[in-house]
């Protein structure tokens, strides 16, 4: 059985990928979970996953983390605008380690999108294209959880964005994690580029209506110019350039950049993607 490493395994997505691999029958002992903070992965170590400390900014830690590993999932970091170099360090370490398969969590339509968010992903994809290591691009669309992570804020202020009537093809994080686990534990994915998105594409007003339905509270969508939205996010404490990048992504939804009819996600996971209504209902129960 190949040894599979999941980087940033203590991220929300990384944890779900490790869980999905275990559910698919991959032995904990055949798995490496990398994290910057081993204490955060104590639960993974407790079930027998080999936890190794690695920082994308520190190549020596990456060499230790990827020693003896056959397949790697590189989970993109959350340092938006400043993460390409770290990703390139992971790719170089995977090459030095003789990895046989390197999958990367990119963004939907990375090669065509004008969204600012995609710049780091595009730089990473360009480097992957030059690598001798067989690669898989998991071009992830939006998580439904992007709209539930701060449900209290939506309940108080409504949904705000710059997407107009644009649609976003959301799926649950778990859906994307399962797709990654299918690729890492399966065969024949080398060279694949998967455009991963939910089966349903919703407008912001439709998402607001689902939140209203799940919470019993009246939540409306307010559309504002992209500069105004960036300002609102800055006022809420989001630093530069993150507030501008998130506002720009909302405008990207308006331009149709976060929808796809590829069907890749449901095909990989072998079932329809999780309806947004279900993810929103689950989140609503936690704030009830
Ligand atoms: N598709 C979407 O809708 C969407 C939404 C949000 C984010 N994303 C992207 O998908 C990734 C996974 O999503 P998520 O929600 O699971 O993110 P998350 O929970 O915010 O986790 C971000 C991860 O990045 C790791 N990280 C940051 N800098 C690092 C470094 N220098 N070296 C190693 N690890 C580093 C963090 O490591 P520690 O655990 O050590 O702090 C953390 O585990 C995100 O990082 C982001 O690139 C996608």
Instruction: Give the residue extent of every domain in the chain.
Output: 4-141+172-197+261-269
With beta carbons less than 8 A apart as the criterion, state whether 42 and 53 touch: no
Q: How far is the CA of 120 from the centre of ligand 1 (A)?
A: 13
Residue 144 Cβ inside 6 Å of ligand 1? The answer reads no
Q: What is the SS3 assignment for 128? A: helix
Q: Give the global pTM.
A: 0.98
Residue 240 Cβ inside 6 Å of ligand 1? The answer reads no
Residue 76 Cβ inside 6 Å of ligand 1? The answer reads yes
CATH number for the domain whose boundaries are 4-141+172-197+261-269: 3.40.50.720
Distance between CA 31 and CA 154 in Å, rounded? Answer: 38
167: left (phi over 0), alpha (psi -120 to 50) or beta: beta
Residue nearest ligand 1's atom 17 by CA: 11
Distance between CA 231 and CA 18 in Å, rounded? Answer: 37
Distance between CA 150 and CA 113 in Å, rounded? Answer: 26
Query: Order of strands across the sheet with 101-107?
Result: 50-53, 31-35, 4-6, 71-74, 101-107, 135-140, 193-196
Ranges of residues in the chain whose predicted pLDDT is under 70: none
Count the alpha carbons within 13 Å of 44 in the hemisphere toward its beta carbon: 34
Residue nearest ligand 1's atom 24 by CA: 77
Q: Give the DSSP per-residue string, 20-47.
A: HHHHTT--GGGEEEEES-GGGGHHHHHT
Indicate the top mutation candidate among 52, 62, 75 to test ligand 1's pocket, ranked by most ligand atoms within 8 A of CB.
75
Burial pattern 221-235, b for ≥16 Cβ within 10 A else e, equals bebeebeebbebbee
Q: What integer pLDDT is reported at residue 1 of this predicted model? A: 86
């Amino acid at each position: 059985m190949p040894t599979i490493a999941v980087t940033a395994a203590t991220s929300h997505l990384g944890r779900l990928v490790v869980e999905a691999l275990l559910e698919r029958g991959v032995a904990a002992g055949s798995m490496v979970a990398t994290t910057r903070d081993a204490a955060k992965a104590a639960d993974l170590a407790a079930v027998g996953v080999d936890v190794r400390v690695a920082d994308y900014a520190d190549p020596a830690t990456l060499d230790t983390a990827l020693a003896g590993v056959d397949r790697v999932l590189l989970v993109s970091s959350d340092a938006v605008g400043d993460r390409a170099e770290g990703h390139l360090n992971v790719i170089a370490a995977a090459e030095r380690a003789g990895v046989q398969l390197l999958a990367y969590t990119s963004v939907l339509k990375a090669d065509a999108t004008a969204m600012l968010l995609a710049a780091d992903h595009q730089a990473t994809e360009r480097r992957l294209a030059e690598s001798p290591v067989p690669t898989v691009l998991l071009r992830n669309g939006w998580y439904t959880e992007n709209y539930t992570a701060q449900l209290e804020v939506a309940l108080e202020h409504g949904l705000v964005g710059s997407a107009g009537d644009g649609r976003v093809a959301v799926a649950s994080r778990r859906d994307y994690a399962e797709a990654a686990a299918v690729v890492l534990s399966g065969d024949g994915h080398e060279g694949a580029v998967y455009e991963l998105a939910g089966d349903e594409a919703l407008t912001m007003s439709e998402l607001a209506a689902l939140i209203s339905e799940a919470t019993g509270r009246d939540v409306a969508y307010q559309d504002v110019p992209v500069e105004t939205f960036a300002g609102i996010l800055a006022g809420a404490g989001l630093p530069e350039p993150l507030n501008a990048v998130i506002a720009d992504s909302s405008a990207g939804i308006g331009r149709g950049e976060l929808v796809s009819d590829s069907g890749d996600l449901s095909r990989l996971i072998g079932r329809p993607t999780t309806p947004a209504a279900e993810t929103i209902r689950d989140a609503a129960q936690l704030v009830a």
